[in-house]
Amino acid sequence: MSFLMGPALLFCPADRPERYQKASERSDAVIVDLEDAVAPADKQRARGAILAQLGSSGEVPELDPSRTIIRVNPAGTEEFEKDLHCLKHTPYRHIMLAKAESAAQLKDLAGYSVIALCETAAGILNAAAIAAEPNVVGLMWGAEDLLASLGGTSSRTDDGAYRAVALHARSAVLVAAGAFGKEAIDSVYVNIPDLEGLAAESRDAVASGFGSKACIHPSQVAVVRTAYAPSDAELAAAAELLDAAAAAGSGVFAFQGKMIDGPILKHAESTLRRAGR
């Protein structure tokens, strides 16, 4: 089954089935969350809500399995085992593993395509080994759980910028994903009303190489999509540069006063790719 990622992924609590369809319609892929968004006392009810979406023929009319991710609880926990038992009875085969920390955890998830959420110190250190696993399709990082695992109190400074340790983790996950050809997903922006801050962070995610960004509120989706959509001017400039490269033939050449080589051309190709060209 193919998986359509898209630039804007939207979390939806698994114990709120009335929100499933709306979350799916408003995003490029929906992450139905069995972990942090659900209180411990409500987890069994949340799994029941997922199963209740199944029709008599096993179809899931509300959610497209190719655009649905189920975030499961951390490996090795009782809730994780219950999550997998639930998913065996559904068509969902795309999961997000919360607090992924080792390649061995991914080996136990054969049969699923997995987004590994690296959000602890161990997960960040082992990001490359995790990304190398064949069933891993993407890596995401999480700031607040990481800081909690380090004994910290906040991932951001008073001006909203990430602390150095969070930036290190963000870069480590991005590089690990890129090294093994996997999707890199930028972390959520928790200040929901601050759409300007989200826009700036999303633009940085695009420029840095993240393939998508996770959202925690529907109002964030349009902001992320706008950041990922190249402007007409950017598309025209990229196309003009690639046309000039084709005319110049192979090797380095000068264009509009700048030296152009292979990496610069790849930047232009990435711009066109984001527009589906």
Higher pLDDT: 266 or 225? It is 225
Same domain, 142 and 270: no
Same domain, 39 and 155: yes
Q: What is the mean pLDDT of residues 22-34?
A: 96
CB-CB contact of 173 with 127 (8 Å): yes
Number of domains in the chain: 2
> Would you say residue 17 has pLDDT above 80?
yes
Residues in the chain: 277
Please indicate, yes or no, if residue 79 is contained in any of the structural domains. yes
Same domain, 176 and 188: yes
Please indicate, yes or no, if residue 2 is contained in any of the structural domains. no
Q: What local confidence, expressed as pLDDT, does residue 277 receive? A: 65
Please indicate, yes or no, if residue 153 is contained in any of the structural domains. yes
SS3 29: strand
CA distance linking residue 41 with residue 242, whole number of Å: 56
Which of 54, 64, 53 has its CA nearest to residue 29? 64
Give the structural domain span for 250: 232-274
CA distance linking residue 196 with residue 179, whole number of Å: 31
DSSP state for residue 11 in the 8-state scheme: E
| Full DSSP string of 138-162 | EEEE-HHHHHHHTT-S-SB-TTSPB
Same domain, 101 and 178: yes
Please indicate, yes or no, if residue 74 is contained in any of the structural domains. yes
pTM of the full structure: 0.87
Same domain, 104 and 15: yes
Phi, psi of 162, rounded to the nearest 5 degrees? -70, 145
CB-CB contact of 252 with 259 (8 Å): yes
Question: What's at 134, amino acid-wise?
Answer: P
CA distance linking residue 17 with residue 201, whole number of Å: 30
Same domain, 132 and 264: no
Same domain, 243 and 186: no
Please indicate, yes or no, if residue 247 is contained in any of the structural domains. yes
| Full DSSP string of 203-253 | HHHHHHT-SEEEESSGGGHHHHHHHHSPPHHHHHHHHHHHHHHHHH-SS-E
Q: What local confidence, expressed as pLDDT, does residue 45 receive? A: 97
Burial class (CB in 10 A: 0-12, 13-18, 19+), 107: exposed
Please indicate, yes or no, if residue 15 is contained in any of the structural domains. yes
Q: Locate tokens 């509300």: which residue?
A: 62
Residues 49-80 as b/e (b if ≥16 CB within 10 A, e otherwise) read bbeebeeeeeebeebebebbbbbbbbbeeebb
Same domain, 47 and 71: yes
Q: What local confidence, expressed as pLDDT, does residue 276 receive? A: 67
Please indicate, yes or no, if residue 100 is contained in any of the structural domains. yes
> Would you say residue 4 has pLDDT above 60?
no
SS3 196: helix
Longest dimension (CA), the chain: 65
CB-CB contact of 275 with 239 (8 Å): no
Q: What local confidence, expressed as pLDDT, does residue 242 receive? A: 82
Q: What is the pLDDT of residues 151-202, one digit of tens each?
A: 999 999 999 999 999 999 999 999 999 999 999 999 999 999 999 999 999 9
Last residue of a domain, one of 194, 212, 228: 228
CATH classification at residue 98: 3.20.20.60
Same domain, 174 and 107: yes
Please indicate, yes or no, if residue 3 is contained in any of the structural domains. no
Same domain, 60 and 128: yes
Same domain, 256 and 146: no
Q: What is the pLDDT of residues 45-70, one digit of tens each?
A: 999 999 998 865 555 457 899 999 99
Q: CA angle, 112 as apex, 106 and 117 as ends, to 5°?
A: 50
Same domain, 270 and 187: no
